[in-house]
Amino acid sequence: MAEGTVENMIEAVIMVVSMTVPMSIAMIGGMTEAMNVVKMIRVMIATTVEIMMTEATDA
């Protein structure tokens, strides 16, 4: 019984590591991409706000 639980624990640890390691690597590698995405979102928000403002002034 104890051996089974140890094996399950090891499997769980391996699963967690295999899930988190690529994610952390992707996060580090995707930092620049994330910054670009944030810039894109900011530009999109700014343009939508401008459009809303112009529509509000027109109306």
Per-residue pLDDT tens over the stretch 15-25: 888 888 887 87
* CA 48 – CA 1 distance, rounded (Å): 61
Can you state the angle between helices 2-29 and 31-58, rounded to 10 degrees?
Answer: 60
Listed residue (38, 34, 56) closest to 46, CA to CA: 38
Between these two residues, 2 and 36, which has the higher pLDDT value? 36
pTM value? 0.40
Strands (DSSP E) found in 1-59? none
Rounded Cα gap, residues 16 and 44, in angstroms: 36
Q: Is the predicted pLDDT of residue 6 greater than 90, yes or no?
A: no
CA distance 34 to 40: 10
